Homo-oligomer: A and B are copies of this chain.
Amino acid sequence: MVDPNIEALFRPKSVAVIGASEKPGKIGYAIMKNLVEYGYEGKIYPVNIKGVEIRIGNRVFKSYRSILDVPDEVDMAVIVVPAKFVPQVVEEAGKKGVKVLPIISSGFGELGPEGKKVEEELVKTAHKYGMRILGPNIFGVVYTPEKLNATFGPTDVLPGPLALISQSGALGIALMGWTILEKVGLSAVVSVGNKSDIDDADLLEFFREDDNTKAILIYMEGVKDGRRFMEVAKNVSKIKPIVVIKAGRSERGAKAAASHTGSLAGSDKIYDAAFKQAGIIRAYTIEEAFDYARALSNLPEPAGENLVIITNGGGIGVMATDAAEESGLHLYDNLEDLKAFSKYMPPFGSYKNPIDLTGMAGAESYEGAIREALRNPNIHSVAVLYCQTAVLDPRDLAEIVIREYNEAGRNKPMVVAIVGGIEAKHAIDRLNEEGIPAYPEPDRAIKSLAALYRWSRWKAKQRGE
């Protein structure tokens, strides 16, 4: 069962912003603005010691001098006041019966042992009143199904099936921007900061049950309670895939991480082994993490090992074949069965997988070949590759892919790679917006599909145990 306080972090019926500001440029204004502009439909109560009026577009909010003055129940109170006022504010929130407290304010555990002590007191106070704390030292929380954007990051988060958790504040906000730019659809963004109370494990437990979340991506530098995290992660991985980027894997990187977060980074080998055991898919770069997450959050699991690669260029077909072999994917090779593809290519094409439709391949070739690959039950996964040529606009190819994939019921995993210029980029964006993982080169498409296979195989192994 999900902790109702954690539930309130994502589905609050009302939100107070303690330290709300009328001044653009202030964090206490940015959070109000994101709440309003992203379309949160619950009640919003700004709290400001001076009782100022706050204007966001056409809406004018009267602010309350204390949360105790709010004439209604408050589920979540976002705290943005300076560190020294936080203890009092937490106490008042407790009296008010608030359920969860994202504390944006910094100046606690990240400064050293003294700040750490204050942090511990905050948690004690919160627990006394049955509240949970997110943070402190965070940029906030987003939950797109509820149109909740209680952060001071970008506004226009793209809704989708991926939950993003970040330990780093600066990087987390930057990653929100990245997802908007790269069309990665998100269910949630959570900044965990100092993890004084709510940590990755608590959030994983929520996302495990959350129907709007299909996969979870975590940027972490270290974990508080390693044993519990791995236990929960393993439990969650059996249902939904988890991708982790963990910085600080080299010796010097680990030292830098320790000085940055104050948390001991721990030996990377131990992390690596624990991740594997817990079914966690590890990514080594930001790009790789989102590449994997795209496939893992959007695609169904493969029913078997037979991959078919469809291409219009020998060169990219070869690159995809390299990537497939290196990442343990099996190219389907029953030539009798594959011969069906010969209908969709000129005589000098090749139906030996990779299926080379040749540079002459137009809309009909691709349509036919994709339909055949999605139809044949002996084929379990599909990679569609395209080198931009004058024969077929990549944007038209994108429409074909979307139509065929929808008509076939999206029942086997498919990835797309389109190499080219601005039209290729638009086609890739369009596919990603439609939840079909698309990439600018074969290698990234194949490796993302391989990540899905890795998770799926791990799951099968768990069932066998």
Residues in B whose Cβ lies below 8 Å from that of A350: 259-260
Contact of A287 among B25, B359, B441 (CB under 8 A): B441
Given contacts A111-B348, A247-B315, A322-B247, contact A419 B175 (CB under 8 A): yes
**Complex Cα gap A49–B331 (Å):** 48
Residues in A218-263 with C-beta less than 8 Å from chain B: 219, 221, 247-253, 256-257, 259-261
CB distance from A168 to the nearest CB of B (A): 3
Contact assessment for A317 and B260 in the assembled complex, using a CB-CB cutoff below 8 Å: yes
**Complex Cα gap A425–B443 (Å):** 22
CB distance from A180 to the nearest CB of B (A): 5
Contact assessment for B312 and A170 in the assembled complex, using a CB-CB cutoff below 8 Å: yes
A408 at the interface (CB under 8 A from B): no
A154 at the interface (CB under 8 A from B): yes
A66 at the interface (CB under 8 A from B): no
Residues in B whose Cβ lies below 8 Å from that of A319: 247, 253, 285-286
- Report the copy number of this chain in the oligomer: 2
Contact assessment for A316 and B171 in the assembled complex, using a CB-CB cutoff below 8 Å: yes
Given contacts A260-B317, A315-B221, A390-B30, contact A419 B248 (CB under 8 A): no
Contact assessment for A419 and B286 in the assembled complex, using a CB-CB cutoff below 8 Å: yes
* Cβ proximity bits A321-349 to B, threshold 8 Å, 1 near / 0 not: 11011100001000000000000000010
Contact assessment for B422 and A256 in the assembled complex, using a CB-CB cutoff below 8 Å: no
Residues in B whose Cβ lies below 8 Å from that of A25: 390
**Complex Cα gap A260–B349 (Å):** 9
A75 at the interface (CB under 8 A from B): no
Contact assessment for A257 and B318 in the assembled complex, using a CB-CB cutoff below 8 Å: yes
CB distance from A194 to the nearest CB of B (A): 13
Contact assessment for B170 and A359 in the assembled complex, using a CB-CB cutoff below 8 Å: yes
A421 at the interface (CB under 8 A from B): yes
Residues in B whose Cβ lies below 8 Å from that of A152: 390
Which among A173, A318, A326, A387 has the highest number of chain B CB atoms within 10 Å? A318
**Complex Cα gap A420–B154 (Å):** 10
CB distance from A395 to the nearest CB of B (A): 13
Contact assessment for A174 and B322 in the assembled complex, using a CB-CB cutoff below 8 Å: no
CB distance from A158 to the nearest CB of B (A): 11
Contact assessment for A171 and B253 in the assembled complex, using a CB-CB cutoff below 8 Å: no
Residues in B whose Cβ lies below 8 Å from that of A167: 315
Contact of A325 among B30, B171, B251 (CB under 8 A): B251
* Cβ proximity bits A154-184 to B, threshold 8 Å, 1 near / 0 not: 1000000000000111110111111011000
Contact of A174 among B249, B259, B284, B424 (CB under 8 A): B424
Contact assessment for A314 and B173 in the assembled complex, using a CB-CB cutoff below 8 Å: no
Contact of A321 among B178, B252, B316, B424 (CB under 8 A): B252
Contact assessment for B260 and A314 in the assembled complex, using a CB-CB cutoff below 8 Å: yes
A313 at the interface (CB under 8 A from B): yes
Given contacts A170-B313, A247-B315, A318-B253, contact A424 B219 (CB under 8 A): no
Contact assessment for A314 and B168 in the assembled complex, using a CB-CB cutoff below 8 Å: yes
**Complex Cα gap A422–B182 (Å):** 9
Instruction: Name the CB-closest residue of B to A152.
Output: B390
**Complex Cα gap A177–B390 (Å):** 12
Which among A181, A249, A253, A324 has the highest number of chain B CB atoms within 10 Å? A253
A-B residue pairs in contact (CB < 8 Å), sample of 24 = A168-B313, A168-B314, A170-B313, A170-B316, A171-B387, A173-B388, A174-B420, A176-B421, A177-B388, A177-B419, A177-B422, A178-B419, A181-B425, A219-B315, A247-B315, A248-B321, A250-B325, A252-B325, A256-B314, A256-B318, A257-B318, A260-B317, A260-B356, A286-B440
